[in-house]
Structure 1
Amino acid sequence: MTDPFEDQKARASAWFHSLRDEIVTAFESLEQTHITGPLADRPAGRFDVSPTRRDTGGGGVMSVMRGGRVFEKVGVNISTVYGELSPAAQSAMAARRGLPGMADDPRFWASGISLVAHMQNPHTPAVHMNTRMFWTPHGWWFGGGSDLNPCLPYDEDTAGFHATLKAHCDRHDPKYYPRFKAWADTYFYVPHRGRARGVGGIFFDDHSTGDWEADFAFTQDVGRAFLPAFLPLAERRRTTPWSEADRGAQLAHRGLYAEYNLLYDRGTKFGLETGHDPDAVLMSMPPLATWP
């Protein structure tokens, strides 16, 4: 039987791959151009690239840079996976998305890009971005977003990051940015600590207006917004001197980040529950962190 969504799946998967290539190139360029300031005397970081595999269908590419001039650890992963959802996943999806018949036909297909960057300089914020497409015979949707996670916040960095996200959202619907910003504020909250993970951004899930082309175009623009939102502030902060106290604040904030990702993040839970490569799923974990 011909898959009526074969073309859409191929286009989405190819887009995530091309976005990954653009970001990897930009990040390696940022390493090469860091020639003054802290850690400028060490070799420029480069990505190590390796394939990933999901035992029951699909896989992807994991690209990780460690110990660079600007990035202490950054991962830019892409994957395209498929198979059948577990009974628990079927129930959760049917309840959250109102999709009937999941037990009768539990097939799924998912593709996306996931990025997490932990920076050398405590004045340069950590950042996260992901976008994805999910398909079942009962419906399709997009999800993702981008959020900034500084341990030493700067108002101008926060404002610039949000302004770029808003500009890209406004190309599609002026209601998107306020709606998805509010969703990010709720989603990226750490209940047991009573605080947000960072200074927010946008988050959306289950996004399906019925117009696949329009929803795909919006998801592409969320991805396109990332580099112009993040690179200027990374370039601004990468040469700032830091103290041991600044480093301590950074490591403590990374502990908060790790707690959130292990306890609450949907992508982490889905990846581990569906048998994806655990190294790729846990790429988001910081290289060093501290706890009280």
Structure 2
Amino acid sequence: MADESAMTAEKERAAGWFRALRDEIVAAFEAVEDAQGGPGPAGRFQVTETRRGEAGEEGGGGLMSVMRGGRVFEKVGVNVSAVHGELGEAAQRSMAARGVPGVEADPRFWASGISLVAHMANPHVPAVHMNTRMFWTPGAWWFGGGSDLNPCIEYEEDTGHFHAVQKEFLDPHGEEHYPRLKAWADEYFYIPHRRRARGVGGIFLDDHCTGDWEDDFSLIQDIGRAFLPAYLPLVERRREQAWTAEDREVQLVHRGLYAEYNLVYDRGTKFGLATAHDPDAVLMSLPPLAKWI
């Protein structure tokens, strides 16, 4: 099913799609910066090429695009990558435990995806995370990812809109998908040591392979397509809302939860560091400022 030569075209299509989605999101976020008045210049992404391993000898890389100190986005990263090489023993054992066939006998892998995290200047604008990815080994291929909303000050109408758009994009693939992926996100983005969720949820899936690559790719594309219509209306609704020093305090403490989750539990963070990808790109998700009490 996952023969290397037979998957070449599919790999290229997936990597191209993730790059195109990155370009669309970067342009949309810079347009939000342009629309927001302010004394300083509108924020812009700084783009850096990334490599896997020292000098890129491990195989592959990508683009790290980060905006800092914008009018609306305090820090936002939109990264894409396509990497390949051999899995370490720990990664092999982890994937074998998840039921990935053949991974213990052959450690080769290929992976591509987009990863986005936005931390906002205004505490009323929710932080957000999104990623989609394709993974290949000689014995299998699969897709994964999703998006979830992380407000420090929750508004029910914002949460409702975010979830409604996810459902709208998933339902054409089968009405069973949204409730299943929502429940998966609720479980995945839970912080056990805090006994709470890190946000208000969203959708998530992993190891998704029905055996029909086209159908699975179409599903992961719609998860990516849902992001901007789910999130941008919330930014527009809240970006000029007045906020106080107390609101900022709540935001910084909530960011501490986000940092804890990503450093302790997030599967993507662990995989990126374990496979020698650029650590700055892997840790792009961390907030620029956070606080613990």
2: CA distance, partners of 1:14 / 1:120: 31
**What is aligned with 1:30?**
32
Q: What are the superposed Cα offsets for residues 102-148 of structure 1, whole Å, 9 maximum, x if unpaired? A: 23211100000000000000000000000000000101000000000
Q: What are the superposed Cα offsets for residues 41-94 of structure 1, whole Å, 9 maximum, x if unpaired? A: 221000000100002111000000000000000000000000111122111111
1: CA distance, partners of 2:171 / 2:270: 31
- The runs of at least 4 consecutive aligned structure 1 residues that moved more than 3 Å come to none
**Residue 4 of structure 2 contacts residue 138 of structure 2 at CA under 8 Å; is this kept in 1?**
no
Q: 1:12 aligns with which of 2, 14, 20?
A: 14
Q: In the TM superposition, what is the alpha-carbon distance from 1:274 to its structure 2 partner?
A: 0.5
**Residue 100 of structure 2 contacts residue 139 of structure 2 at CA under 8 Å; is this kept in 1?**
no
**What is aligned with 2:116?**
115
Task: Verify: 1:226 aligned to 2:227, yes or no.
Answer: yes
Unaligned runs of 5+ in 2: none
**Residue 134 of structure 2 contacts residue 143 of structure 2 at CA under 8 Å; is this kept in 1?**
yes
**What is aligned with 1:58?**
60
Q: In the TM superposition, what is the alpha-carbon distance from 1:2 to its structure 2 partner?
A: 6.9
SS for the counterpart of 1:171 is helix
Task: Verify: 1:185 aligned to 2:186, yes or no.
Answer: yes
SS for the counterpart of 1:127 is strand
Task: Verify: 1:68 aligned to 2:70, yes or no.
Answer: yes
1: CA distance, partners of 2:179 / 2:235: 25
TM-score by length of 2: 0.97
Counterparts in 2 of 1:208-247, with a 5 A limit? 208-247=209-248
1: CA distance, partners of 2:94 / 2:110: 16
SS for the counterpart of 1:174 is coil
AA paired with 1:62? Answer: M
SS for the counterpart of 1:289 is coil
2: CA distance, partners of 1:140 / 1:197: 29
2: CA distance, partners of 1:148 / 1:240: 18
Task: Verify: 1:45 aligned to 2:49, yes or no.
Answer: no
Q: In the TM superposition, what is the alpha-carbon distance from 1:98 to its structure 2 partner?
A: 4.3
- Aligned residue pairs total 287
2: CA distance, partners of 1:10 / 1:52: 18
**Residue 97 of structure 1 contacts residue 206 of structure 1 at CA under 8 Å; is this kept in 2?**
no
Identity of aligned residues (%): 69
**Residue 12 of structure 1 contacts residue 133 of structure 1 at CA under 8 Å; is this kept in 2?**
yes
1: CA distance, partners of 2:240 / 2:253: 22
Quickly say closer, same or farther: Cα 1:244–1:220, change in 2 above 3 A: same
AA paired with 1:274? Answer: T
AA paired with 1:106? Answer: P
AA paired with 2:270? Answer: K
**What is aligned with 1:144?**
145
2: CA distance, partners of 1:255 / 1:176: 31
AA paired with 1:20? Answer: R
**Residue 143 of structure 2 contacts residue 217 of structure 2 at CA under 8 Å; is this kept in 1?**
yes
Q: In the TM superposition, what is the alpha-carbon distance from 1:162 to its structure 2 partner?
A: 0.2
2: CA distance, partners of 1:65 / 1:121: 15
Q: In the TM superposition, what is the alpha-carbon distance from 1:3 to its structure 2 partner?
A: 1.1
Moved more, 21-30 or 164-173: 164-173
2: CA distance, partners of 1:98 / 1:230: 33
RMSD: 1.0
Q: What are the superposed Cα offsets for residues 146-192 of structure 1, whole Å, 9 maximum, x if unpaired? A: 00000000000000000000000101111110000000000101111
TM-score by length of 1: 0.97
